[in-house]
């Protein structure tokens, strides 16, 4: 969708105390700046620091930015990450790339999703007239950008991003979706993988978590797999199916407050204990020895898994995809010493800078590397299970094969 470039003389300067780099001048539409000031002020009172790292962009700036993306990601792929000049929402002056003041390494990165700023924005940004431009699986086909927020709190701004004709079309589509809702729900039920059993278990505070369980072959390990923040368990489904072909069992469940599990999405401090209760469930209900249970996670799921792994010395191994030094208050660097005792696999993409940096820090901090495996994917911004990147749904990726091979080596 093309956007006109707002003239700079019609824009206002964003206060420097809410920008990442006070030496730069950031401009935006006056009403958007006023709303942003209120948003940042409220977040600060809630103990969350939010700053601007990009706002209005000129045609020339966007042109150079897009060409750089083409060089980094490959010709024809830059548009997945950066809009060409003339097509960027930033031209309007109503759009901001926001960041967590206390986590600069996550700026403009998928890992931003696991910061306190991102969590706060998803709950509160709408109260100030802001909406996420590119949520997961957006209709534009743009890669998910949890940092990219646009102001639609005035009639002028809303018309820019939601023209009347598109709004009418959307209403028709919504009506069609409602009419076919029952069929869609039935399709979801029928889509449950035939190889998995639906299970539920209770947490220490009495809420119910739902997951899928694959029974292991005799003598094989069972993995407990945790998804990323605001995702759900199906992100592990394909990998779990591949594990089954190798006799490896799996329990992948919705974190509390996610998917079909009860609880709140912000109860991060309780999620490591939830994983421990999942292990208890496997021991008591399926007679799987604790020493034959491994844990794995993606993004914040990796941090949760690592903390549970460090606390329970009987667990067999840990697989950590795109871990962070600190996601939502769950740190990992203090746990690096536990790598010396039992097998740990770390994986991150070079384009996912925060997770990639974290893997390097954990590797250097490990007391011993004898039980440590590190997989670095080059020239990719993929985060968490996105790193699997299958060429076809039926064929496991090379990364999946390497992980399963590592599991088979260390879970004898």
Residue 162: pLDDT band with limits 50, 70, 90: confident
Average pLDDT over residues 304-328: 94
pLDDT tops 50 at residue 383:
yes
**Residue % of the chain over a pLDDT of 70:** 88
For residue 77, what pLDDT is reported? Answer: 60
Average pLDDT over residues 210-229: 95
DSSP letter at 377 equals E
For residue 236, what pLDDT is reported? Answer: 95
Give Cα separations from 29 to 14, 204, 209 (angstroms). Answer: 9, 49, 45
- Chain-centre distance for alpha carbon 348: 13
Burial bucket for residue 188 (CB in 10 Å: 0-12, 13-18, 19+): exposed
Residue 367: pLDDT band with limits 50, 70, 90: confident
Looking at per-residue pLDDT, the higher value among 83 and 326 belongs to 326
Give SS3 for 232: coil
For residue 78, what pLDDT is reported? Answer: 59
For residue 190, what pLDDT is reported? Answer: 41
Beta-carbon contacts of 243 under 8 Å, excluding residues fewer than 6 positions away, are 214, 223, 249, 250, 404, 407
For residue 59, what pLDDT is reported? Answer: 87
Residue 1: pLDDT band with limits 50, 70, 90: low
pLDDT tops 90 at residue 144:
no
pLDDT tops 50 at residue 365:
yes
Residue 73: pLDDT band with limits 50, 70, 90: low
How is residue 242 written in tokens?
Answer: 């591949």
Average pLDDT over residues 103-118: 91
Q: Which domains does the chain possess?
A: 8-153 (3.30.1380.10), 194-410 (3.40.50.1820)
For residue 173, what pLDDT is reported? Answer: 43
CB of 219 closer than 8 Å to CB of 290:
no
pLDDT tops 90 at residue 164:
no
Most confident by average pLDDT, 80-84, 192-196, 275-279: 275-279
Beta-carbon contacts of 191 under 8 Å, excluding residues fewer than 6 positions away, are none
**Residue % of the chain over a pLDDT of 90:** 61
pLDDT tens per residue, range 293-309: 999 999 999 999 999 99
Residue 181: pLDDT band with limits 50, 70, 90: very low
Average pLDDT over residues 146-172: 76
């Amino acid at each position: 969708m093309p956007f006109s470039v707002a003239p700079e003389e019609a824009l206002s300067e964003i206060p420097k105390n809410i920008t990442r780099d006070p030496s730069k001048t950031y401009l935006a539409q006056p009403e958007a700046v006023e709303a942003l000031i209120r948003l940042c002020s409220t977040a600060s009172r809630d103990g969350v620091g939010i700053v601007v790292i990009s706002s209005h962009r000129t045609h020339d700036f966007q042109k150079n930015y897009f060409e750089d993306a083409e060089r980094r990601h490959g010709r024809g792929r830059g548009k997945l990450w950066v809009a060409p000049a003339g097509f960027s929402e930033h031209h309007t002056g109503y759009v901001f790339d926001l960041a967590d003041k206390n986590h600069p390494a996550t700026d403009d990165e998928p890992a931003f999703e696991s910061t306190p700023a991102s969590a706060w924005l998803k709950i509160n940004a709408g109260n100030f007239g802001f909406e996420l431009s590119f949520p997961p699986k957006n209709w534009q086909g743009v890669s998910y950008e949890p940092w990219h927020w646009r102001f639609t709190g005035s009639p002028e701004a809303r018309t820019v991003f939601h023209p009347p004709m598109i709004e009418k079309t959307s209403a028709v589509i919504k009506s069609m979706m409602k009419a076919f809702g029952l069929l869609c729900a039935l399709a979801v039920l029928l889509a449950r993988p035939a190889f998995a059993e639906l299970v539920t278990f209770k947490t220490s505070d009495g809420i119910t978590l739902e997951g899928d369980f694959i029974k292991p072959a005799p003598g094989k390990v069972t993995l407990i797999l945790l998804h990323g923040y605001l995702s759900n368990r199906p992100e592990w489904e394909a990998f779990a199916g591949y594990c089954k072909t190798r006799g490896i069992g799996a329990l992948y469940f919705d974190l509390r407050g996610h998917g079909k599990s009860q609880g709140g999405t912000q109860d991060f401090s309780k999620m490591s204990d939830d994983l421990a209760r999942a292990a208890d469930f496997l021991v008591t209900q399926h007679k799987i020895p604790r020493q034959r249970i491994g844990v794995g996670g993606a993004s914040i799921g990796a941090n949760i898994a690592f903390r549970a792994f460090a606390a329970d010395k009987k667990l067999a191994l840990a697989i950590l995809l795109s871990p962070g030094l600190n996601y939502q208050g769950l740190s990992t660097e203090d746990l690096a010493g536990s790598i010396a005792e039992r097998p740990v696999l770390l994986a991150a993409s070079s384009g996912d800078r925060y997770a990639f940096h974290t893997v390097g820090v954990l590797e250097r901090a490990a007391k011993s590397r004898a039980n440590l495996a590190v997989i670095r994917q080059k020239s990719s911004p993929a985060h968490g299970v996105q790193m699997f990147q299958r060429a076809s749904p039926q064929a496991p990726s090379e990364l999946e094969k390497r992980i399963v091979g590592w599991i088979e080596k260390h879970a004898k």
